[in-house]
A and B are shown apart, each in its own frame.
Chain A
Amino acid sequence: MKTKFTQILKQRYYLLFFFSLLVQQTYAQQQITISGKVASVTGEPIPFANVVIKNTKNGAVTDFDGRYKITAASNQTLIFSSQGYKTIEIAINNATTIDASLPEDATKLDEIVVVGYGSQQKKDLTGAVSLVKAEEIQKRQVTTVADGLQGLVTGVKVRGGGRPGQEANIEIRGLKNLQSTNPLYVIDGLVTSANRDFNPNDIETIQVLKDASAAAIYGSRAANGVIIITTKKGKKGPLKVEASAKSSFTSMPRYDLMGTEEFAKFNNQAYDNAGAPRQNLNMAVDTDWQDVVFQNGMINDYNVSVSGGGDNSSFFMSGNYFGNKGTVVGTDFDRISFRVNSSGSKGIFSIGENIAISNSKTDEMSGNPIIDVYRLTPTIPVYDAANPGGYGYGKQGVADTFGTNPLALADFANTINENFRIRGNIWSELKFTPWLKYRFNFGYETSFDSYNFMRKLGNWTLNQPPEKSFINQNKGRSETLLYENTLTFKKAFGKHDFTVLVGQTFQKDNYNQIYGTKRNLLVNSGTGKYYDVLDLGDSPEVGGFRNEAALTSYLGRLEYNYDNRYLINAVIRRDGSSRFSDDNKWGNFPSVSAGWRINNESFFKSEFIKDLKLRASYGELGSGNIGNYEYKSFINTFGTVVLGNGQGLYPAATQVRLSNAQLRWEKLKQTNFGLDLGVLNNDLRFTADYFVARTEDVLFGFPILLTTGNDGGNPISNAATVENKGLELELAYSKKINDFSFNASVNFTKVNNKLVSLGNGQNQNIQDNTITRAGNAVGMWYVLQTDGLFQNQAEINNYKNADGKVIMPNAQPGDIRFKDVNGDGQITNEDKDIVGSPWPEFEMGLNAGAEYKGFDFSMNWIASHGATVYNGFRSVVDRFDDNSNYRRGIQPWTPENPNTDFPRIVKGTTLNSRGDTDRFLESGDFIRLKYIGLGYNIPDSVLKSAGISRARLTLSAQNVITISKYKGLDPEFSNPNIFQRGVDNGAFPNLQTYSFGVEFSF
C-alpha cells in the first residue's frame, strides 16, 4: 500500500517538475543576445532608433552608428522604429544578428508642420498647407528656391528663366491683387525673401501655406500665400560631416534663322514688292549671331556642412559656393554663403540663433541679346572698324536696322551688382511650466548692395548720338529689424486639447542709398583700361535717398482638438502700417477653420480607408505691396530752367505726381474646402481643395486721364475687385516591397481668374495687346483677327460689308484679310476684340521615383494646357516692315506660290505688318520633363575602409524633353508684368541642364 501511494506521489512530482520546466520555458525560454545595425534603405545608420520587444515594454536604443544590443527570447519579435521612418517588425527566430533597414515614411502623418509661430502635426491641419521635401528642391540645380518648386505643389505656379542670377516668379492660387504675386517668405521666423542670396542646400523643411486660415497668422502680408522655410539644425551625436559637389552644363535653345543667301532673297523680294530700291546687302558676310552671343554655360555648386550636438545643445554650420557662368556672353553669377545655427537649453530656459552670411556678385546681361540675335541681319559683320568702337551694326542703305550689337553693348555698357547680406535671428524661450511657454525672437537682416555701371566710348547701334563715357555707382544699405513676443499655452484636458497663442510683433524696414556719376573717364591709352573710381572724370552728379516703413501687429490663435476627431482653428491678427494714412493704418484679419477626422469616429469602420478628413476654412487677409509714401503728394524740386542773358540755371519746383490720400489695406476674403483621404494603409493618398478668393479694394495705379497732367507714375487707389476660384487635386502612391520602393504622385491645378470690376468709373484698361475688362480674366488678348489671305483682286473687290462697301480696297493679292468685327466697312482699332486668354485652363505635375538596392531614380514632369501666348519673336521677324532676320524656310505668298498662310512680304506699312493681330498668338500648351535623375549609393563594404559612412553619385538632366507646338524658344517663359503674362518678348528661356554630382557623409 505504501509503495503505490509513494509511486503516485512521485508521478505527480515528475509531472510538477515537468510542468515547472514547461513554465520556465515560457518565461525565460532561451534568453539570447541579439545585436545588429539599424539603417535606412540608403545605408545611412539611424542613431537613437527604438528597438522594442513586441508586447513588452523592454527595449533598447541604437547608438551613434545605428548599432544595438538587446536580450530577448528567440521566439519573440523585435519592433524597429524611428521618427520619420516606417516601423518594421522582425521575428528573432534564434538569430543573433538582426539588421533592420527602415524605409522612409512617405506618408508622414505624424510629421511636424511649421505653421507660423508654432507647429502642428500634419494630421491636425485644418488649412491648406503643402509640404515639400527639401531633397526635391536640392536635387535640382537651381539658383533660388522658387525655381525648384515647379510642379511639386498644387496651386503654385512658377515661371523662371536661365539667366545667371535670375529669380523665378511664384504665383500661389492665381492673381489676387494687381501689384505683384510674390508670396511672403519666412525663414526661421524672419520675414524675408528667399532670393538668390539664399542657399537652398540649407533647407530642412519647406511648407507652403495656401489658404486664409493657414496664412492668417501673417495677416496683412499673407494674401499671396506664405512659404515657410526652416533651415537645418544639428542633431545629438558625434560630429557629422557632409559634403557635396555638383557640376552642370547648360545649353541655350536656339531660333532657326536664315543665313545670308536665303536672307538676301527675301529681303530683296520685300523691297521689290514695295517698289523701293533694294538695299546694298553685304553678301560677303554671313554672321550667325546666335553662335556669337550664345555659349554653353557651366554651373558649379559645392556645399560642406558640419553638425552635431549633445543632450542640451546642437549646432549646424554650412558653407557653399555657387557659380553660374551664363549661356550668354558677358553674364555670370557667383555666390558664397556661410551659415551657423546653434541652440542650447538649461532647465526651463533655451536660446538659439540662426545666421547666414552671403556674398553674391552678378555680371548682369546688357540689353536683351535674346532679341538682338534676330534683329540683326546675317549681312552685318560682328566687328566693323569703320564704326566708333569697332563693332558692326546697321548701316543705312546696306543693312537698315536699329538692332543693337550684343557684344558691343556688353562691352560698352556693363552692369555689375554685388550684394553682401547677413540674415538671421536670435530667439529665447522660457518654459514656465510644461504647458506655458514664452518666446522672444529678434530677427535681423541687412544687405549691402553695390551697383556699378560703366559706359565706355563706342556705339552699338545705327545713328547713335555720341555719348561721353561715364560711370554710375551706387551703394545702398537695407536693414530689417523684427521684434516678436509670443506666449503659447498648450494643455490637454481629457479629450480636449487646447493650444492658445498670443503675440505682438514690430518690424522696421529702412533703406538708404547714395549714388554718384562722373563723365569723361580716364583711359589708359596703352591698355585701353578705363578707370572707374569716382575721384576721376568730370561733371559730377550725386544723390541719395532714404526709405522707411514700419509695421506693428498683435496676433492670437486658438487650436482646439477634441478627441482627435474635431479640429477647430481660429486666428485674429491686427496690423498697423506706416504706408497708409492715419485713418486707414489699421486692419483686422480674422480667420476660422475646422476639420473633421472621420476615420477616428466610432461609426467609421473601414479597413480600406485609413485616413479621411474634411476641412473648411474662411479668412480675411490683407495686402499692401505699394511704396512707402504713396498716400502723400510731394513737390519735385529737381527741376532747373535756363534764363537770363548769361543763360544761367534757376531752380524750379512743382507737383509732378498726383496721389490719393485715402489709401487702405486690400482685403482678401478666401474660402477653402478640402478633403484628405488615405487608403491601402496610407500607401495611396488623395487630397482635394476647392477655393474662392476674392480681393476687394485692390490697390492699383490705373492710368488716369492725361488731361490731369500727371506724370511719374499713376496714382494708386483702392478701387478694383479681383476674384480667383480654383480646384487642386493631388494623388500620391508609395510602396515598398523588400528592396524595391516606389513612389509617384500626380497633381492638378485649375485656377479661374476674374477681374470683377476696375472701380474709379472705368470698365477696362488696355495695355498693348491686352485688355483687362470687368468680367474677364486679367490681361485678355485684344487684337485684330485675321481670316486668311486674299488670293486675287476679285476676292478683294468682293470682300464687302453688309452695306456693300469694300472693306479693304487698298489690299493686294497676298495680303491678310482682317475681320470687320463691327461691320463698318473698314479695318480700324474698333475691330479689335477679345480673342483669347493667357491663363492656362489647368496645370499638372507628375512626379515619380524608385529605389532599388543602392540605385535611385526620380523624374518630374510638368504640363500646362489652355493658355494662349504672344510670340514676340515672330511678331518681329515675320513682319518685314522693319529689317530683321527671318525664320528659315518661310514661304511667303507670291503669285507663283499662293498656297500658303504667310502673307505677301512688303517693306513698308501695310496691315500685313501690324503686330496687334492674332497672327502672332499661339497655343502655349506644353509638356516638359523638368527633371530626371539617377543616383547610386556606393555600398557600405567599399566605404567602410575609407571611414566614409555614405557616398552617392548622381547624374541628372533638367528641361530635356519639351513637347509643345510653340514656335518661340520656351513655352515656359516668364513675364513678370501681371497684365502681360502671356507675352514672350525676348524672355530668357529655361535652359537644358546636365549635371553630375557626388555626395559624401563622414
Chain B
Amino acid sequence: MKKIIVLIAIFSGLFFTSSCENELDLDNPNALTVDQYWKTESDAQAGVNSIYAMFYKDGLWARWIYFRLDLTSDEGFSNSPWTELADWTRFNYINYNFWEGQVVTWRDTYKAVFRCNQVLANVPNITFQNEDDKKKIIAQAKFFRALHYYYAAILWENIPIVLTPSTPADLPEQKNVTEVFAQVEKDLNEAFADLPSSWPADQTGRPDKGAAKAFLAKVYMQQHKWTDAKTALEYLISGPGARYNLVANYRDNFTDVNENNKESVFEIQFGDQKNGGTDEGQSAAVSSNRAQFFAPRGIGWSDGQARFWLVNAFKQEKNKDGNLDTRLRYTLYYPQLQADFGDKVYGKNWEWGNDEAWFRKGSRDYYRNNEDYFSQVNYRLVRYADILLRYAEVLNELGNTQDAYQYVDLVRARVNMNTLAVAHPEIGNDHDKFLERLKTERVLELAGESVRWEDLKRWGDLNTQASVDKIALRDPDFKNFVVGKNQRLPIPQIEVENNPNLKQHDEY
C-alpha cells in the first residue's frame, strides 16, 4: 500500500510539471506586432520610407503601369504573344479581373495608400526632438497619397477614397473623379506647406516643395483649372522654387550617369542592390523592369513597342544644323537608327520589321547588350521640360499665346531646334493652331515618358469620334476605341462584386 502511495505521489508530480498553461501565450519571435511599433522617430522614418518602396512593385512604376499609360496611348502598342496582355493595350477588355491588365495596378495603388494612411494615423502620436521633422514625414505621406490617387483617377476616374488605415471588413465608398481630384489637391497643398524646398544630398529622391507644385499643376490642368495651374507652375519657373534648368545632353534624363540632375523635378529612385522580386521579402528588388519588357524581340520580352508614326513625327523638321532631331536618336529604336545616327540596337544590326520601333528611353545599351529585371536607371516622373511646355499650354489657354512661345523655344533650343516662330510662322497667335503645335512639341520632347494618356484626356481628344478617328490613323488600336467608354478602365469586377458601395461604370 505504501508503495502505491509513493508511486501515486511521483506520478502526480509528473502530472503537474507537464501542465503549463502559461506556455499557451507565445510571442512571434520573427516580427514586431503593430502595437509594439510606431513609438520612436526611427519607426516613423522607416514607416514613411516604406511608401517609396511601392515604386518597386510590379503593379506600379516597376512594370505594369507603363502598359496602361504608354502602350494604351497612341505612342505605343503591344504585339505580345501573351494575347490577353496585348488586348489590354487595344481596348479589348474581356476579363475585368485580368491581374496584369489592371487589377495588380489597382491593388498596388491602394497598398501605397494604406502605407500613407498608416503614417498619417500613427506618426502624430510620436514625440519628435524637432517638430519640423515630424511635419516633413507627414507631408511626404500626403504627397504620395495624392500622387497615387492622381494616377488612379487618370485610369479609372470614379474610385473609392480611403483616408484611414484599413481593417479587413472595410467597404469604402466610391467617389466621383472630381472629388478624387479635390482630395489630391487638398493633400498636395497641405504637403507643400511642410515639405522643404530641398533635401540634403543623402535624401535626394524625397519630394520637395517644387515636386508638390508640379503635381498640383498636373491635377489643375487635368481639370482645366488654368489659373490655378499657372500659379503652381510659376513657383517653379519664376517663383521661390525656380532652381531648375534644362541639361545640355538630352540623354542625361534617361540614364544613370547623371541622375537627379538640375532638370529633375520629381524622380523615382531605382537601384540594383537587391536580387529578389516584387514581393515583401528580405531580398525584394529596388529596381525597374520597364526596359526588360520594352526591349526589342530577342533582347527583352518585347511586350511593348512604339508606334512608327513617332519616327515620322521626329523627321518632319531638321535642327539648326540641318540634321535630324537628336531626340529621335534617344527616344526610339527604329530601322534607320544606325544609318541616321550610327547607333546599333544593343550591339545588334537591325533584324526586325521595316515599320517596327521600340522605346529607347531608359535602356542601358550604353554599357550592356541586354536587359534584366534589375534596372537601376531612375525614372524622371516630372522634369523641367515638361513644366515649361505645360506653362506654355496654360498661357495659351488663358489667351496669352504670345508669352507662351518663349517657353516652348527653351525646350527646342536645348536640342538645337529653331524657335517656333521661325519654324512654324503660320501659328501666329491662334489658340487652336498653337495647341496643335504644342501637342506635337510634347510628343517630340516627352514620348514614352508616361504623360501621353493624361495629355489626350486633358485635350479632349478622346471625347469625340472625329478626334478618335484621327488618332486611329496613327494608331490602329484606336479603331476599337468606344467614345464615352474606353477613356477609363473598367473597375476590377471582383471589387464591384464584393463592395456594395462600388458600382461598375455604366458603359461596362
What is A's interface to B at a CB cutoff of 8 Å? 396, 400-402, 430, 432, 438, 440, 463, 465-467, 483, 485, 504, 506, 508, 517, 519, 539, 541, 543, 545-552, 576-578, 582, 585, 628-629, 632-656, 658-660, 703-712, 715, 717, 760-762, 764, 766, 829, 881-883, 908-909, 913-914, 916
A653 touches B46 (CB 8 A): yes
> How far in angstroms is the closest Cβ of chain B from A508?
7
Please measure, in the bound complex, the distance between the C-alpha atom of A577 and the C-alpha atom of B23, giving whole angstroms.
9
Minimal Cβ-Cβ distance residue in B for A827: B94
Cβ of B322 under 8 Å from chain A:
no
A644 touches B201 (CB 8 A): yes
Please measure, in the bound complex, the distance between the C-alpha atom of A508 and the C-alpha atom of B283, giving whole angstroms.
32
**8 Å CB contact of B172 from A641, A642, A654, A707:** A707
- Given A576-B24, A643-B269, A653-B37, A638 and B284 contact (CB-CB distance below 8 Å): yes
Interface string of B222-253 (1 = CB under 8 A from A): 00000000000000000000000000000000
- Given A541-B275, A635-B37, A706-B492, A651 and B46 contact (CB-CB distance below 8 Å): yes
B28 touches A708 (CB 8 A): no
Minimal Cβ-Cβ distance residue in B for A716: B168
Please measure, in the bound complex, the distance between the C-alpha atom of A651 and the C-alpha atom of B286, giving whole angstroms.
12
A646 touches B202 (CB 8 A): yes
Please measure, in the bound complex, the distance between the C-alpha atom of A718 and the C-alpha atom of B160, giving whole angstroms.
27
With a cutoff of 8 Å between Cβ atoms, the chain B residues found around residue A646 in the complex are 201-202
> How far in angstroms is the closest Cβ of chain A from B371?
7
Q: For A633, A703, A883, A913, which residue has the most chain B Cβ atoms within 10 angstroms? A: A633
B24 touches A652 (CB 8 A): no
Cβ of B206 under 8 Å from chain A:
yes
With a cutoff of 8 Å between Cβ atoms, the chain B residues found around residue A440 in the complex are 11, 14
Interface string of B132-166 (1 = CB under 8 A from A): 00000000000000000000000000001010011
- Given A506-B20, A550-B23, A710-B168, A642 and B205 contact (CB-CB distance below 8 Å): yes
A637 touches B46 (CB 8 A): yes
With a cutoff of 8 Å between Cβ atoms, the chain B residues found around residue A632 in the complex are 28, 33
With a cutoff of 8 Å between Cβ atoms, the chain A residues found around residue B51 in the complex are 654
B46 touches A652 (CB 8 A): yes
Please measure, in the bound complex, the distance between the C-alpha atom of A633 and the C-alpha atom of B34, giving whole angstroms.
6
A711 touches B81 (CB 8 A): no
With a cutoff of 8 Å between Cβ atoms, the chain A residues found around residue B36 in the complex are 635
Minimal Cβ-Cβ distance residue in B for A701: B168
With a cutoff of 8 Å between Cβ atoms, the chain A residues found around residue B170 in the complex are 704-705, 707-708
Interface string of B493-504 (1 = CB under 8 A from A): 111011100000
Minimal Cβ-Cβ distance residue in B for A394: B81
Cβ of B196 under 8 Å from chain A:
no
With a cutoff of 8 Å between Cβ atoms, the chain A residues found around residue B498 in the complex are 703-705, 762
Cβ of B103 under 8 Å from chain A:
yes
Minimal Cβ-Cβ distance residue in B for A545: B30
Cβ of B396 under 8 Å from chain A:
no
Please measure, in the bound complex, the distance between the C-alpha atom of A606 and the C-alpha atom of B282, giving whole angstroms.
75
Query: Which residues 480-498 of B have a CB within 8 angstroms of A?
Result: 492-495, 497-498
A635 touches B34 (CB 8 A): yes
List 16 additional A-B contacts (Cβ < 8 Å) besides A641-B269, A643-B205.
Answer: A483-B18, A485-B15, A485-B18, A541-B283, A546-B30, A547-B30, A550-B24, A552-B24, A577-B24, A632-B33, A637-B31, A640-B274, A641-B52, A646-B201, A656-B280, A709-B110
Interface string of B268-298 (1 = CB under 8 A from A): 0111011100001111101000001000011
**8 Å CB contact of A708 from B8, B167, B259:** B167
Which 5 A-B pairs give the minimum distances between C-beta atoms?
Answer: A709-B114, A654-B50, A483-B18, A708-B166, A652-B50
> How far in angstroms is the closest Cβ of chain A from B362?
15
What is B's interface to A at a CB cutoff of 8 Å? 4, 7-8, 11, 14-15, 18-21, 23-26, 28-34, 36-37, 43, 46-47, 49-53, 81-84, 87, 92, 94-96, 103, 106-107, 110-115, 118, 160, 162, 165-172, 201-206, 259-260, 269-271, 273-275, 280-284, 286, 292, 297-298, 300-302, 370-373, 376, 492-495, 497-499
With a cutoff of 8 Å between Cβ atoms, the chain B residues found around residue A717 in the complex are 168
- Given A466-B370, A646-B202, A909-B92, A708 and B23 contact (CB-CB distance below 8 Å): no
Minimal Cβ-Cβ distance residue in A for B112: A709
With a cutoff of 8 Å between Cβ atoms, the chain A residues found around residue B201 in the complex are 644-646
- Given A541-B282, A629-B28, A642-B286, A708 and B46 contact (CB-CB distance below 8 Å): no
B11 touches A648 (CB 8 A): no
With a cutoff of 8 Å between Cβ atoms, the chain B residues found around residue A400 in the complex are 81
> How far in angstroms is the closest Cβ of chain B from A435?
14
**8 Å CB contact of B168 from A546, A550, A658:** A658
With a cutoff of 8 Å between Cβ atoms, the chain A residues found around residue B4 in the complex are 432
With a cutoff of 8 Å between Cβ atoms, the chain A residues found around residue B83 in the complex are 881-882, 908-909, 913
Minimal Cβ-Cβ distance residue in A for B36: A635
Minimal Cβ-Cβ distance residue in B for A641: B52
> How far in angstroms is the closest Cβ of chain A from B400?
38
Minimal Cβ-Cβ distance residue in A for B370: A466
A465 touches B270 (CB 8 A): no
Q: For A508, A639, A646, A760, which residue has the most chain B Cβ atoms within 10 angstroms? A: A639
With a cutoff of 8 Å between Cβ atoms, the chain B residues found around residue A545 in the complex are 29-30
With a cutoff of 8 Å between Cβ atoms, the chain B residues found around residue A909 in the complex are 83-84, 87, 92, 94
29 CB < 8 A contacts A-B: A432-B8, A463-B302, A483-B18, A485-B18, A506-B18, A506-B19, A548-B29, A552-B19, A578-B24, A628-B26, A628-B28, A632-B33, A635-B31, A635-B32, A637-B46, A638-B281, A641-B286, A644-B204, A644-B205, A647-B271, A651-B46, A705-B170, A707-B160, A707-B162, A707-B172, A709-B107, A711-B107, A715-B168, A762-B498
B28 touches A552 (CB 8 A): no
> How far in angstroms is the closest Cβ of chain A from B152?
10
> How far in angstroms is the closest Cβ of chain A from B158?
13
**8 Å CB contact of A711 from B111, B203, B376:** B111
Please measure, in the bound complex, the distance between the C-alpha atom of A142 and the C-alpha atom of B206, giving whole angstroms.
61
> How far in angstroms is the closest Cβ of chain A from B78?
12
Please measure, in the bound complex, the distance between the C-alpha atom of A342 and the C-alpha atom of B468, giving whole angstroms.
86
A707 touches B14 (CB 8 A): no
B259 touches A647 (CB 8 A): yes
**8 Å CB contact of B280 from A466, A633, A711:** A711
Please measure, in the bound complex, the distance between the C-alpha atom of A687 and the C-alpha atom of B128, giving whole angstroms.
74
B14 touches A485 (CB 8 A): yes
B113 touches A709 (CB 8 A): yes
**8 Å CB contact of B106 from A585, A656, A706, A916:** A706
A634 touches B31 (CB 8 A): yes
Minimal Cβ-Cβ distance residue in B for A577: B24
> How far in angstroms is the closest Cβ of chain A from B377?
11
With a cutoff of 8 Å between Cβ atoms, the chain A residues found around residue B8 in the complex are 432, 438
> How far in angstroms is the closest Cβ of chain A from B49?
4
With a cutoff of 8 Å between Cβ atoms, the chain B residues found around residue A463 in the complex are 297-298, 300-302
Q: For A545, A576, A647, A916, which residue has the most chain B Cβ atoms within 10 angstroms? A: A647
> How far in angstroms is the closest Cβ of chain A from B434?
39
A638 touches B282 (CB 8 A): yes
